[in-house]
Structure 1
Amino acid sequence: MKQARRRQSRTCLTFVMTILLGTICLGGLAILVGFGLIPQMANDAFGAPVSTLSPFQRTYLSLQLLIHQDALTLPVNPEAQPVQFLVKEGETANSVAMRLYDLGLIRDREAFRAYLIYSGRDTRIRSGTYTLSAAMNALEIAGKLQDPLSQEVVFNILPGWRAEEIAASLATSGINVNAESFLEAVRQGKKGEEPLASYEGFLFPGSYRFLRDVTAEEMVQAFYHEFERSVTEDLRNAYAQRGLSLVEAVTLASIVQREAVVTEEQPLIASVFYNRLQQNMKLDSDPTVQYALGYGEAWGTWWKVPLTLNDLSVDSPYNTYLYPGLPPGPICNPGLSALQAVAYPAETPYFYFRAACDGSGRHLFARTFEEHLQNACP
Structure 2
Amino acid sequence: MKLKNLVAILLVVVMTGLLIYGYTLYNKTFVSNTAFEEREVYVTFPTNSTHEDVKKILSPYVKDFEQFDAVFQQVSFDQGYFPGRFLLKKGMSNYDMIQALKYNVPVKLTFNNQETIEKLVSRISSQIEPDSLALIEVFTDPEFLKENNFTKDDVLSMFIPNTYEFYWNTTPLKVRNQMQKEYNRFWNEERKAKAKKLGLTPTEVVTLASIVQKETAKVDERPKVAGAYLNRLEKGMLLQADPTVVYSKKLLSNDFEQIIKRVYLKDLKLNSPYNTYMYTGLPPGPIAMPDISSIDAVLNPEKHNYIFFCASVERMGYHEFAENLAQHNVNRDKYSAWLDKNNIQ
- TM-score per shorter chain, which class? 0.5 to 0.7
In 2 relative to 1, CA 296–152 (structure 1 residues): closer, same or farther, beyond 3 Å?
Answer: farther
Change over 3 Å in CA distance of 1:344–1:174 after alignment to 2? closer
Same amino acid, percent of matched pairs: 28
- Partners of 2:327 and 2:287 in 1: how far apart? 29
Q: Which amino acid aligns with 2:231?
A: N
Structure 1 partner of 2:271? 315
How far apart are residue 262 of structure 1 and its match? 0.3
Pairing 1:287–2:287 present: no
Letter in 2 for 1:182: L
The answer (yes or no) to whether the contact 2:226–2:297 under 8 Å persists in 1 is yes
Structure 1: distance between partners of 2:226 and 2:286? 15
What is the CA–CA distance in structure 1 between the aligned matches of 2:115 and 2:282, rounded to whole Å? Answer: 19
Residues 1:178 and 2:178 are matched in the alignment = no
Aligned to 1:169: 123
Q: Give yes or no for the alignment of 1:269 onto 2:225.
A: yes
Q: Please, which of 321, 324, 330 is the counterpart of residue 280 of structure 2?
A: 324
Is contact 1:255–1:331 with CA below 8 Å preserved after alignment?
A: yes
Distance in 2 between residues matched to 1:240 and 1:142, nearest whole Å = 51
Match of 1:370 among 312, 326, 340: 326
Instruction: Tell me the secondary structure at the aligned position of residue 233 of structure 2.
Output: helix
Deviation at 1:288, TM superposition (A): 1.6
1:361 aligns with 2:317: yes
Select 1:212's aligned residue among 165, 168, 190.
168
Question: When the two structures are aligned, how many residues end up with a matched partner?
Answer: 279
C-alpha displacement at 1:73, in angstroms? 6.2
Contact 2:250/2:256 (<8 A) preserved: no
Q: Secondary structure at the match of 1:165?
A: helix
Given that residues 134 and 172 in structure 2 are in contact (C-alpha distance below 8 angstroms), is that contact kept between their aligned partners in structure 1? yes
Q: CA deviation at 1:284?
A: 0.5
Once the two structures are TM-superposed, the CA of residue 188 in structure 1 deviates from its matched residue by 2.8
**Aligned mates of 2:248, 2:169 — CA distance in 1:** 33
- Once the two structures are TM-superposed, the CA of residue 305 in structure 1 deviates from its matched residue by 2.8
The answer for unaligned runs of 5 or more in structure 2 is 1-7, 29-72, 80-84, 338-345
Higher relative contact order (CA 8 A, sep 6+): 2
**8 Å CA contact 1:295, 1:303 repeated in 2:** no
Shift of 1:191: 4.1
Q: CA deviation at 1:247?
A: 1.8
Amino acid at match of 1:166: L
Q: Does 1:335 find its partner at 2:296?
A: no
SS at match of 2:164: strand
1:142–1:29 CA distance, 2 compared to 1 (3 A): farther
- TM norm structure 1: 0.61
Name the structure 2 match of 1:196.
150
- Which one of 104, 108, 122 corresponds to residue 154 of structure 1? 108
Superposed CA RMSD in Å reads 4.1
Post-superposition shift, 1:343? 1.3
